[in-house]
Amino acid sequence: MRRLNRKKTLNLMKELDAFPKVPESYVETSASGGTVSLIAFTTIAFLTIMEFMVYRDTWMKYEYEVDKDFTSKLRINIDITVAMRCQYVGADVLDLAETMVASADGLIYEPVIFDLTPQQKELQRMLQLIQSRLQEEHSLQDVIFKSAFKSASTALPPREDNSLQSPDACRIHGHLYVNKVAGNFHITVGKAIPHPRGHAHLAALVSHESYNFSHRIDHLSFGELIPGIINPLDGTEKIASDHNQMFQYFITVVPTKLHTYKISAETHQFSVTERERVINHAAGSHGVSGIFMKYDISSLMVTVTEEHMPFWQFLVRLCGIIGGIFSTTGILHGFGRFVAEIIFCRFRLGSYKSPSVPLSDGHTSNHLPLITDNSTH
């Protein structure tokens, strides 16, 4: 009884076989079939390698939502060199809430030489080249996000020469914490002093001939400091053509949450537009000489997440490649053989057509004459 049930089960499983086995004696091989098979195997191998490269790669997914965090502080990371002595310049922040943040809260004034060494110039030239490429190819930003913490630091290396030249510039570097509202970070003549109606700078003791707001922005970022991230103003250098010159940067800051397989951080991206003009009250160009960075905080927050193709999706795509190529090449091969047989059959029929034989009454006959014994004599 058990053997009978086992046989019935085996026969049922044989009937459900979707892959019937054809005996080898029924299989006919051909040179054209072998050529098509070789092309199919080569194509499958090439597409499989390409698909594996896609599987190994990752991409950045961008999601947007309203930024509801308006109570926290915003960190500004600054590294700017101005071509004036440190006792002549002052830096501070004034926001729309009339809150003043003095540079003494987190910035350092360091006397330096404005001209760069050859090694520093090379790094600055590289940063400027990257900035120009980023403006043309925005997809490079994803590469920078994925390589954060792995890239070399974008900060200028320290000077290695023992120059006897006295410092002629002031490097202002460090960080400040400000309110998450629009504000104005500026560097101008004189140290900042508090004022009941805002703030003021002690500029009366500095002569106009010593004004020189040529500057170099080695680094400017908002939020958490992430090594390897290149910001839009890194490597910027401006040379003043006049003593009374104003440089303005209008910055829009976008809160950003970055989640990759290497890091998870809360930082800020920003876009910037620039303007510079000479202060000439007689010509109607009013203002104060200096460097002004007016920033505004976007109400949207961007979440950037690095994603990877799931393994099951890779297997499905791989099966689709193999099965699709086999089916397509089989159909094309069968269609090609069908067309070839039709063409060859027509040639064969044309070669077997009988010649026309003229008759005595002027008509022609397409029938071949019978060969008899009398005709052989």
Question: What is residue 95's three-state secondary structure?
Answer: strand
By C-alpha distance, which of 194, 256, 246 is closest to 224? 256
Say which DSSP state 204 is in: T
pLDDT at residue 333 in the model = 78
Q: Which two tokens stand for residue 154?
A: 């974008």
Structure pTM? 0.69
pLDDT of residue 18: 58
User: What local confidence, expressed as pLDDT, does residue 377 receive?
Assistant: 43
**In this predicted structure, what is the pLDDT of residue 231?**
86
Listed in sequence order, the residues at least 6 apart from 91 whose beta carbon sits closer than 8 Å to its beta carbon are: 78, 103, 107, 172, 185, 186, 187, 192
Give the contacts of 107 (CB within 8 A, at least 6 positions apart). Answer: 78, 91, 172, 173, 174, 175, 176
According to the model, what pLDDT value does residue 235 have?
A: 87
- Picking from 155, 162, 277, 171, the residue whose alpha carbon sits closest to that of residue 225 is 155
Q: Which pLDDT score, from 0 to 100, does residue 364 have?
A: 52
Radius of gyration of the chain (CA): 40
Question: Per residue of the chain (377 residues), what is the pLDDT tens digit?
Answer: 666 677 777 777 677 665 666 666 656 666 767 787 888 888 889 988 998 888 888 888 888 898 888 788 889 999 999 999 888 888 888 888 766 676 656 888 999 988 888 888 888 888 888 877 777 766 666 666 766 655 555 667 777 766 677 888 999 999 988 888 888 998 988 777 766 666 777 766 777 778 889 999 998 999 888 877 888 888 899 998 888 899 999 999 999 888 888 778 888 888 899 999 888 877 878 888 899 999 999 888 989 888 888 889 889 998 998 888 888 888 887 787 778 778 877 666 665 555 555 555 555 555 545 444 554 44
196 class by beta-carbon count within 10 Å (0-12 exposed, 13-18 middle, 19+ buried): exposed
Contacts 24+ apart (CB under 8 A), 335-342: 336/32, 337/32
pLDDT of residue 92: 85
Rounded to whole angstroms, the Cα distance separating 79 from 236 reads: 11
Strand partners for 91: 187
Asked if 187 and 290 touch (Cβ cutoff 8 Å), the reply is yes
- Full DSSP string of 318-329: HHHHHHHHHHHH
| Burial class, 140, CB count within 10 angstroms (exposed 0-12 / middle 13-18 / buried 19+) | middle
88 token code pair = 């002549």
Phi, psi of 345 (to 5 degrees): -65, -40
Please give the Cα distance from 353 to 358 (Å, whole number).
16
Q: Which helix (H) or strand (E) holds 176?
A: strand 169-179
Backbone angles phi, psi at 182, to 5 degrees: -60, 145
